[in-house]
Chains A and B, each alone.
Chain A
């Protein structure tokens, strides 16, 4: 399998060399051809900068970027067969939808008839037949997002970059678009690089994902790996808001003297008597599909997920906690 995109110790620093903002800092990365790759991380962690390094709008301060094996250090954006769905869509307001979609072909000198036909095909692909004559201002947010997608796909790019493309959509539309994007990706076989700060989105869509923290990759792997075996405290907390247990608590929970992660949904809330772990309920957050209890236990706050239908204890009540010892994941990484 070829690597669609490779980062070899890539850094991008902004500002003065004396006090640089390390937007991307020594990143090593391999994105397999035809995969759906997600970049996940909090705001300001360097995801957008990484995408811009691939598309060529940023140049690395150091390191090498390869696209399909070729070093792109000297290749300007317009010669990289990589297209982007921008965060704000960046549709051309003075062109109608058809011309927006056909733009990539127009600049290649494709004649109007062919490119109008192709644009219509792409619009059909994103379920926007018959919208060709509208201006972007006459579309809803979700429709604009589809036009941006169609426009980016018209050139049949080798890699499609998507920068939080679903950020502006409401939950329902967002979920529908997630399914559509995923289906589109497997049908077209194009490598998708998808930036998001929504961990649910990343977990459900990606074949593999990289978790960013402060310009570095905290962990890279399949969603199942990252979720089940977070390498660092940061990953455990950011992906699925796990309980991050300090060494002494891990010990009290029956593990080694190390930092560990314990998923809230792995904790069962039981009656207080006759169990090893008992604590006081300090808070209850109603989630709809269940409730999230905060339990003070040995001086740490532990969150437990209580499925709907079970009796919800009062705040201040003493409850017991039980779990399968295999669910306690000891983390080897730092930070």
Chain B
């Protein structure tokens, strides 16, 4: 019995020839796909990072304002001056607070989306999380300035329902409060949390989605209460997602130099310090040293997270 179709099909031109080429040399396709991004990452990104690092080991001549291109740790020592240390600590505390705030708000939303939302509600979730990202960052921040202002809707609403007392009491807390929400650290915090929240929700939701229901049932089946299941199963399994989200919120807050200028006490944060030092002040080495701080902090953070087993579930 002979069939009319041949056992080996003829080559149909370039597409088939390329397919054959990649089949014979599997690495080739990988190389073709990866070279452009690796060039970008390796040369442009790592290169500039390296240049930055290099700059931070130079110093500036105090009289002439010229960068002295010889190795020194003097610039790093300057970071520990009271006013600079202040900036670092303020940034660190704000970043940590924003991260925790985001995590607390994001978790229930991400949990709902991962576990219960189906079909239409899932679409609503994604839309709701993404929608704020569609409008300009500046527009959102200025909108918040108006919302938080003394004449803004929050003050107005608080007066309306007779909660002015509470609002004023909060604003009277030293270190957090201020003249109005829009000129207080609390205001900065609120805007940061709002702006970075999607970056916490999405990785968390992805991680929670990967926790099978049967695992939660196994936990309950073995006698665990809901709280125990949360602590011993859900949280450890979702931890990589929480860490990923916190990397976003933490580093985005540490690097931001716009929000603290628009909303808050206009006390300086690292981002703003870098911006001013490399711009008006022309002190590139100190700007570079400042810019290294978030990198070091992130590395420390990730090391601790790894030690604590946050990535065991990966």
Contact = CB atoms under 8 A, between A and B. Distances in A.
B313 A93 contact: yes
Contact of B236 (A86, A94, A103): A94
A107 interface: yes
B220 A106 contact: no
A92 B223 contact: no
Given A77-B221, A78-B225, A103-B222, A86 B214 contact: yes
A88 B223 contact: no
Contacts of B223: 78-79, 104, 107-108, 155
B222 A76 contact: no
Contact of B212 (A77, A90, A103): A90
A84 interface: yes
A194 B25 CA distance: 51
A83 interface: yes
Given A78-B223, A107-B223, A155-B223, A92 B218 contact: yes
A106 B212 CA distance: 21
A151 interface: yes
A55 interface: yes
A57 interface: yes
Nearest to A57: B217
Q: Chain B interface secondary structure, helix, strand, loop or mixed? A: helix
Contacts of A108: 223
A92 B221 contact: no
Contacts of A78: 220-225
Interface string A85-101: 01110111110000000
A84 B221 CA distance: 7
B72 interface: no
A84 B218 CA distance: 7
Interface residues of A, number: 25
A201 to B, nearest CB: 22
B224 to A, nearest CB: 4
Nearest to B226: A78
Contacts of A87: 214
A176 B237 CA distance: 34
Contacts of B220: 57, 76-78
Contacts of B16: none
Nearest to B217: A57
A131 B215 CA distance: 21
B233 interface: yes
A76 B309 CA distance: 31
Nearest to B225: A78
B222 A88 contact: no
Q: Which of A84, A86, A103, A108 has the most CB of B within 10 A?
A: A103
Interface in A67-87: 76-79, 82-84, 86-87
Contacts of A92: 215, 218-219, 233
Given A77-B217, A90-B212, A90-B215, A107 B236 contact: no
Contacts of B217: 55, 57, 77, 84, 86, 90
Contact of B312 (A57, A90, A94, A104): A94
Nearest to A108: B223
Contacts of A82: 221
Contacts of A107: 219, 222-225, 228, 232
B298 to A, nearest CB: 24
A104 B222 contact: yes
Contacts of B219: 92, 103, 107
B221 to A, nearest CB: 5
Contacts of A94: 236-237, 309, 312-313
B218 A86 contact: yes
Contacts of B236: 94
B222 A151 contact: yes
A57 B221 CA distance: 9
A78 B226 CA distance: 9
8 contacts: A55-B221, A90-B214, A91-B218, A107-B223, A107-B224, A107-B232, A152-B221, A155-B223
Given A77-B221, A93-B237, A151-B222, 9 more contacts: A57-B217, A57-B221, A77-B217, A77-B220, A86-B214, A92-B233, A94-B309, A103-B219, A107-B223
Closest 7 CB pairs of A and B: A104-B222, A90-B218, A90-B214, A107-B224, A94-B313, A77-B220, A94-B312
